[in-house]
Chain A
Amino acid sequence: MSATAKPADKGGSPTALPPSTRAHAARRATSPVSGEASPPPFALVAAERGTRRLTAVSLEAARLGLYRGQKATDAFALVPELATAEAEPEADAQALLALVDWCVRFSPAVAADPPDGLYLDITGVDHLWGGEAELVSDIRARLSAAGIFARLALADTPAAAWGLARYGRDGAIAAPGAQGEALADLPPAALKLDFETAAQIERLGFRRLSQLFALPRGPFAKRFGQTTLMRIDQALGRTGEALAFRRPPTPWIARLAFAEPISTPEDLARVAFDAAARLCARLEEAGKGARRFELFFHRLDGKSPSVAAGLALPGRDADRIARLLAPKIETVDPGFGIEVVTIAAYEVETLSGRQVKLEGAAQPSVEDGLSPLIDRLVNRLGEDRVWRAAPVESHVPELSITRAAPLAPAGAAWTWDPEAPRPVRLFRRPEPLEAVIALTPDDPPNQFRWRGRLHRVRRAEGPERIGEEWWKRAIEDVSVGHVRDYYRVEDAEGARFWVFRAGLYDAGEPAKWWLHGVFG
């Protein structure tokens, strides 16, 4: 069964909610095969607080009067020939997620509604199919081709779509702003209320939602709870409903469908450019640029592998985006062929057109030189492998530095103090020194062994005492012993090292020496 949804942008009310759809993936492995003359009644069973109950029933079983939540023993007494199987909720959830991923072909914003539904935000995409009705019929045709029995509905708000899909006419499309009329004849349970609340409302004689809509709000909230009122508001679009989209929703999407499935790498690269050009034309019209582009290849077998490329600065140059995507497209497995390609842009920002400089490029602009280079590097190596070191206000050497995005604007005016000598190479873990001869408590080592070589210290400078950042820790973890006394030492050959003694001087214990960096 499945779903619903309708674009908010047509409804006139800008606060109206994104449309949604609900789909239920029937389990194909266990569902009755549709060629047989009369399939036996079938149900899924799960143990619930020590009682085995039906969790799903087939059409045939439902016709025989079985229902969800019935005790399995009762069901067997009524229908002895009932075929059952164990319910597998995890597998159901996985199947639903797979279906959510597949639905990206219709719109990038898809939210799962466990256990058996999904919402599809079709704001701004229905025109790609020629209208809402065409979109719904296309979804239905493709789902049934995949053997999935679904109920669909389309409305301005997710809550209204939910109710229509489960309690209304299958395939219902509520006119923009008219979800109130569409929902009027449905039972209160269509508001997605919990079982007790819905039963109580029905017990009081409210059998249709139109009766509820007419009640005064104050007494209503007192009698049935704030949640019920909120569901009504969400259904009618008076208040928003947060959906957990599998991917960030974006209205910036372009789609290319092919008459014949394509699969050669050259074709894939070409359609990547075509799709990007289509999207970039829209971005340019709106004066926008995006930082991230994701390209989905929808294969014949329902899978949709994707590749993504990021830009350091927002852009809309289709050629450049296609070139960034090209090396990744080579890794895409086209399977039996790809019938649809969609490209989505994320992190869309306003991007004004650039003016070409008249005077010679003494200082080339960031857009010309650095930004394409950073994009190439980040997309080839990964985001965590390209950075610019940024200072952090901390006196602990390994904490005094952080990685900033390569094109991030220089932030604080504060920088490292050049008068405090710091090594060019700092080891992530200080390396232990052996055979250290040093006069304690305060003298630098006279000699030490590091990596199997003995170094005789000729000159030394220090100590520079560096303590822990005690104000960032719990009081019981803090100790005056957590200090390091750093020395800059130079051996007879001239090699300069940064060594430290850990902890305070303790006559009973030999001092621990470490090498933290090399000056060169």
Chain B
Amino acid sequence: MSDFRGTALAALRTEIAALEAAGRGRAGVLPFGDPAIDGRLPGGGLPLGCWHELCGAGLETEAGAAPAAFAALMAAPLAARGEAVWVFRRDDLFAPGLTGLGFPAERLIQVCARDEAEALAVMEDALSAVGVAAVIGEVEAVDLTAGRRLQLACERRGGAGFLIHRRPFGGAARRATAGSAAATRWRVASAPSAPPANEFGLGAPRFEVELERCRGGRTGAFLIEAGAAYSWEARHGPHPLRLVADLGDRHLAPAESDRRAA
């Protein structure tokens, strides 16, 4: 009986997925390698052929270091397949730092755009180019039209886009737009590292990551560690990110109650 129910659900899901894809073939997924995360994402992994939003929390909206590091870690397996392009307006990305995290910085093309519109245009152009596997862009905000254009560009070649929301230094925060064409939205903050007992210094970088929005999947919150960072093994593992703890319940429950109270 339960087997029949499972089959029927799977069939329905496939049907819905086909409707959502509107006739376009899916570009595949990039699994994190942990069922706790992959289970919440549609298709069992980070979907390719679409773009993902990353936001920082607090101070991170200006410096954008944690989202940048997390985006590089997510895109690292893609960058091993093709070229990666990083588009920004402030040139403070430091390639040796990416190398330490396990991102192949020698495959990274950096583009410094003059303004927001140009940054989005460059992202779009790079996403639709052959041989570009991942495009990471730092912009302040993206409206629905621009987001839709990015989505179409992603579908053309099956590349993945990562869009980091980054506020310009000293500028006033712009109100986040309500809707978005992104497949997922992640809020990334640094988390205290936990080195092994009796060891000095810092442990492997940890991130507190909230999957705020996920098309065709479920939201969640995770504590994720870049386990092999700052070692020669950094770029040889199957995926540089490792799930430490699933924070789903602890984080989402209060948020729900807050909303109800308001």
Binding site for B on A (CB under 8 A): 361, 363-364, 366, 368-370, 372-374, 376-377, 380-381, 385-391, 397, 400-401, 406, 410, 415-416, 418-428, 451, 453, 458-461, 488, 490, 492-496, 517-520
- Residues of chain A contacted by B82 (CB below 8 angstroms): 364
**Count of chain B residues with a beta carbon within 8 Å of a chain A beta carbon:** 61
Closest residue of A by beta carbon distance from B65: A520
Closest chain A CB from B158 CB (angstroms): 12
Which of B15-23, B38-46, B91-99, B253-261 sits within the interface? B91-99
- Residues of chain A contacted by B130 (CB below 8 angstroms): 361, 364, 368-370
Contact with A along B33-59 (1 / 0, CB 8 A): 000000000000000000000000011
Q: Is the CB of A401 within 8 A of B63?
A: no
Partner of B100, one of A381, A421, A459: A421
Closest residue of A by beta carbon distance from B94: A426
Q: How far is the CA of A406 from the CA of B63 in the complex (A)?
A: 26
Q: Given A381-B112, A385-B111, A388-B110, decide whether A422 and B97 contact each other with a Cβ distance below 8 A.
A: yes
Closest residue of B by beta carbon distance from A368: B130
Answer yes or no: B197 CB below 8 A from chain A CBs: no
B contact face: mostly helix, strand, loop, or mixed: mixed
Q: Is the CB of A424 within 8 A of B202?
A: no
- Residues of chain A contacted by B60 (CB below 8 angstroms): 495, 520
Q: Is the CB of A490 within 8 A of B96?
A: no
Q: Is the CB of B234 within 8 A of A418?
A: yes
- Residues of chain B contacted by A427 (CB below 8 angstroms): 92
- Residues of chain A contacted by B67 (CB below 8 angstroms): 520
Answer yes or no: B220 CB below 8 A from chain A CBs: no
- Residues of chain A contacted by B202 (CB below 8 angstroms): 459-461, 488, 490, 496
Q: How far is the CA of A517 from the CA of B241 in the complex (A)?
A: 22
- Residues of chain A contacted by B125 (CB below 8 angstroms): 373, 376-377
Q: Given A389-B105, A422-B94, A422-B100, decide whether A520 and B69 contact each other with a Cβ distance below 8 A.
A: yes
Closest chain A CB from B113 CB (angstroms): 7
Answer yes or no: B237 CB below 8 A from chain A CBs: no
Closest chain B CB from A388 CB (angstroms): 6
Q: Is the CB of B93 within 8 A of A494?
A: no
What are 12 A-to-B residue pairs whose CB atoms are below 8 Å? A389-B95, A389-B108, A416-B105, A424-B69, A424-B93, A451-B62, A453-B59, A458-B192, A459-B193, A460-B201, A495-B66, A520-B69
A contact face: mostly helix, strand, loop, or mixed: mixed
Contact with A along B63-80 (1 / 0, CB 8 A): 111111110100000000
Apart from A374-B109, A386-B109, A494-B208, 17 more pairs, CB < 8 Å: A364-B131, A370-B131, A388-B110, A401-B96, A416-B100, A418-B102, A419-B100, A423-B97, A424-B68, A425-B93, A459-B202, A461-B201, A493-B58, A493-B190, A496-B193, A520-B65, A520-B69
Contact with A along B127-167 (1 / 0, CB 8 A): 00111100000000000000000000000000000000000
Q: Given A370-B129, A381-B111, A451-B59, decide whether A424 and B192 contact each other with a Cβ distance below 8 A.
A: no
Q: Given A494-B192, A519-B97, decide whether A425 and B68 contact each other with a Cβ distance below 8 A.
A: yes
Q: Is the CB of A377 within 8 A of B122?
A: yes
Closest chain B CB from A165 CB (angstroms): 49
Q: Is the CB of A401 within 8 A of B95?
A: yes
Q: Given A418-B99, A518-B65, decide whether A369 and B129 contact each other with a Cβ distance below 8 A.
A: yes
Q: Is the CB of A419 within 8 A of B231?
A: yes
Q: How far is the CA of A520 from the CA of B72 in the complex (A)?
A: 11
Answer yes or no: B187 CB below 8 A from chain A CBs: no
- Residues of chain B contacted by A400 (CB below 8 angstroms): 96
Partner of A381, one of B66, B101, B118, B131: B118
- Residues of chain A contacted by B234 (CB below 8 angstroms): 418
Closest chain A CB from B132 CB (angstroms): 7
Answer yes or no: B83 CB below 8 A from chain A CBs: yes
- Residues of chain A contacted by B106 (CB below 8 angstroms): 388-390, 410, 415
Answer yes or no: B114 CB below 8 A from chain A CBs: yes
Closest residue of B by beta carbon distance from A411: B106
Q: Given A386-B111, A461-B202, decide whether A494 and B190 contact each other with a Cβ distance below 8 A.
A: yes
- Residues of chain A contacted by B181 (CB below 8 angstroms): none
Closest residue of B by beta carbon distance from A518: B65
Partner of A425, one of B92, B200, B201, B232: B92
Q: Is the CB of A520 within 8 A of B68?
A: yes
Q: How far is the CA of A121 from the CA of B190 in the complex (A)?
A: 65
Closest chain A CB from B77 CB (angstroms): 16
Q: Which of B63, B94, B102 has most A Cβ within 10 Å?
A: B94
Q: How far is the CA of A425 from the CA of B114 in the complex (A)?
A: 19
Closest chain B CB from A498 CB (angstroms): 9
Q: How far is the CA of A405 from the CA of B56 in the complex (A)?
A: 31
Closest chain A CB from B212 CB (angstroms): 18
Q: Is the CB of B132 within 8 A of A381?
A: no
Q: Is the CB of B190 within 8 A of A520?
A: yes
Q: How far is the CA of A419 from the CA of B232 in the complex (A)?
A: 7
- Residues of chain A contacted by B65 (CB below 8 angstroms): 423-425, 518-520
Answer yes or no: B10 CB below 8 A from chain A CBs: no
Per the 8 Å Cβ criterion, residues 181-233 of B in contact with A are 189-193, 195, 200-202, 205-206, 208, 229-232
- Residues of chain A contacted by B206 (CB below 8 angstroms): 494
Answer yes or no: B126 CB below 8 A from chain A CBs: yes
Q: Given A369-B129, A419-B231, decide whether A424 and B193 contact each other with a Cβ distance below 8 A.
A: no
Q: Given A459-B195, A493-B190, decide whether A416 and B99 contact each other with a Cβ distance below 8 A.
A: yes
Partner of A495, one of B59, B97, B99, B102: B59
Partner of B191, one of A364, A397, A419, A494: A494
Q: How far is the CA of A185 from the CA of B188 in the complex (A)?
A: 87
Q: How far is the CA of A372 from the CA of B131 in the complex (A)?
A: 11
Q: How far is the CA of A426 from the CA of B98 in the complex (A)?
A: 11
- Residues of chain B contacted by A377 (CB below 8 angstroms): 111, 122, 125-126
Q: How far is the CA of A264 from the CA of B59 in the complex (A)?
A: 52
Closest residue of B by beta carbon distance from A387: B110
Q: Is the CB of B94 within 8 A of A421?
A: no
- Residues of chain A contacted by B62 (CB below 8 angstroms): 451
Closest residue of A by beta carbon distance from B100: A418
Closest chain A CB from B217 CB (angstroms): 25
Q: Is the CB of B99 within 8 A of A421?
A: no
- Residues of chain B contacted by A517 (CB below 8 angstroms): 94, 97
Q: How far is the CA of A26 from the CA of B202 in the complex (A)?
A: 77
Q: Given A494-B191, A519-B69, decide whether A386 and B110 contact each other with a Cβ distance below 8 A.
A: yes
- Residues of chain A contacted by B192 (CB below 8 angstroms): 458-459, 490, 492-494
- Residues of chain A contacted by B102 (CB below 8 angstroms): 418
Q: How far is the CA of A374 from the CA of B111 in the complex (A)?
A: 10
